[in-house]
A and B are shown apart, each in its own frame.
Chain A
C-alpha cells in the first residue's frame, strides 16, 4: 500500500518570502514522487518529479523539492513567492515495477499575500 500526507490544508506566505509546502509519503519500496499544481477551474499541471539520482529536484516556475529518504519527505520549496503562485498543490507517489497507480495527497492551498 502507498499513501501520501500533506499535513497543511492551507499555507499563507507573504509575497517575496520563501515558501514550503510539506509532503510525507509511505510506500513499501522505492518511491516515485511528484508535485502538481491546480489553478482554479483548471486541470492539474506537472511541476516536478523525483525518480532517482540527485535528491534535489528543480522544476517549473522556480520550484524545487528535496527527496529525504530517512524522513520520507518530499517538501516543495521556492525561494521567493509570487502572488501568481497562489493555487492548490498536490503531492503524489507511486511505486516502481509494473503498472502502478499514482496516489495523490489531499492538496495544500497556497495563498501568497501581496
Chain B
C-alpha cells in the first residue's frame, strides 16, 4: 500500500492554464506539506497544514492555493501557470509538528509548463 500518493505523476500544460495536484496519505498523520523541487534539486517548503489548518505559508505567489478537505488530503491548485512553475512538487506527511517528526514523502508530480 502506498503511504503518500500523488496524482497526477506527470503534468504537461500551457502557460496561463489552471491545474490541480492531489495528495492523499493513509498513515493517519495529522500534518501534511507541499514542497517544490527545482531543476537543481533544491527543495523548498511551500505550505504545511495541521488538522486542516494552515500553519506554514512560505513566500509563495498567491496563484498557489492549497486546500485540505480532511486530515488525509492536501491538494494544491495553481492558477495562471508560468514557465517558472515547472518543477517537481512533493507532498509529505508527518505525525505532529514538523520539527522533530519524520516526514514521509510522496513520489512527486512532475510539472512542465510550456
Contacts and interface: CB of A to CB of B under 8 A. Distances in A.
Interface stretch (B12-20, B69-77, B97-105): B97-105
Given A42-B107, A107-B43, A102 B98 contact: yes
Interface stretch (A11-19, A44-52, A64-72, A77-85): A44-52
Given A98-B97, A104-B43, A107-B43, A46 B108 contact: no
Contacts of A88: 41
Contact of A32 (B41, B44, B99, B104): B99
B27 interface: no
A98 B99 CA distance: 8
Contacts of A114: none
Contacts of A43: 4, 90, 92, 105-108
Given A99-B56, A106-B40, A49 B45 contact: no
Given A43-B105, A45-B105, A102 B97 contact: no
A96 B90 contact: no
Most buried by A among B44, B48, B58, B98: B98
Contacts of A94: 98-100
Contacts of A45: 105
Interface residues of B, number: 25
Given A90-B43, A104-B43, A95 B102 contact: no
* In the A-B complex, the 8 residue pairs with the closest CB atoms: A43-B105, A100-B99, A94-B99, A104-B43, A44-B105, A99-B55, A46-B102, A99-B97
Given A43-B90, A44-B103, 14 more contacts: A36-B103, A38-B41, A42-B107, A42-B108, A43-B106, A44-B43, A44-B90, A44-B92, A46-B104, A90-B43, A95-B99, A102-B103, A103-B45, A106-B42
Interface of B: 4, 40-45, 48, 50, 55-56, 58, 90, 92, 97-100, 102-108
8 contacts: A36-B103, A46-B104, A49-B100, A99-B50, A99-B55, A99-B99, A101-B45, A101-B48
